[in-house]
Structure 1
Amino acid sequence: MSEPNKLLYYFKKWTDLTEAEEAIIMSVFESVVIKKKNEMLVAGQVCSHLYFITKGCLRSYYIDTKGTEHIYQIRMDNNWISDLESFFSQKPSKYHIETLEDSHLLCITHERMEQLLVEVPRLERYFRILFQKAYVNALNRLNATMWKTAIDRYNDMIQEHPEVFQRVPLVYIASYLGITPESLSRIRRQK
Structure 2
Amino acid sequence: MMKQLFDYINSYLPNGISEGEFEIVKNYFTPKRLRKRQYFLQEGDICKYYGFILSGAMRQYCVDDKGTVFIVQLFIENWWVGDRESYTTATPSKYNIDTWEDTELLLITRDDVTELLNRSPAFAKVVRIMDDRNSIANQKRLTSSISGRAEQRYADFVSYHPDFLDRFPQHTIASYLGFTKDTLSRIKRQI
What's the TM-score once normalised by structure 2's chain length?
A: 0.93
Match in the other structure for 1:43: 43
Deviation at 1:77, TM superposition (A): 1.2
- Aligned residue for 1:174, secondary structure, equals helix
Q: How far apart, in 2, do the equivalents of 1:155 and 1:164 lie?
A: 13
The yes-or-no answer on 1:85 pairing with 2:96 is: no
Counterpart contact for 2:25–2:123, Cα < 8 Å: no
- Aligned residue for 1:59, secondary structure, equals strand
Pairwise mapping of residues 13-162 of structure 1 onto structure 2 (< 5 A)? 13-15=11-13, 16-162=16-162
Q: How far apart, in 2, do the equivalents of 1:93 and 1:131 lie?
A: 20
Structure 2 unaligned residues grouped into runs of 5+: none
Match in the other structure for 2:175: 175
CA-based RMSD of the aligned residues comes to 1.4
Q: Report the residue type matching 1:54 in the other structure.
A: L
Number of matched pairs:
189
Q: How far apart, in 2, do the equivalents of 1:85 and 1:133 lie?
A: 17
Structure 1 unaligned residues grouped into runs of 5+: none
Residues 73-126 of structure 1, C-alpha deviation per residue, up to 9 Å, x if partnerless?
A: 111111111111111111111111111011111111112112211221332211
Q: Report the residue type matching 1:128 in the other structure.
A: R
Match in the other structure for 1:7: 5
- Aligned residue for 1:187, secondary structure, equals helix
Q: Report the residue type matching 1:4 in the other structure.
A: M
Residues 144-169 of structure 1, C-alpha deviation per residue, up to 9 Å, x if partnerless?
A: 11111111111111122222121101
Q: How far apart, in 2, do the equivalents of 1:55 and 1:155 lie?
A: 26
Q: How far apart, in 1, do the equivalents of 2:129 and 2:139 lie?
A: 15
Identical residues among aligned pairs (%): 35
Q: Report the residue type matching 1:10 in the other structure.
A: Y
Q: How far apart, in 2, do the equivalents of 1:165 and 1:128 lie?
A: 29
Give every structure 1 segment of 4 or more consecutive aligned residues whose post-TM-superposition deviation is greater than 2 Å. Answer: 13-20, 64-67
Q: How far apart, in 2, do the equivalents of 1:54 and 1:45 lie?
A: 24
Deviation at 1:62, TM superposition (A): 1.3
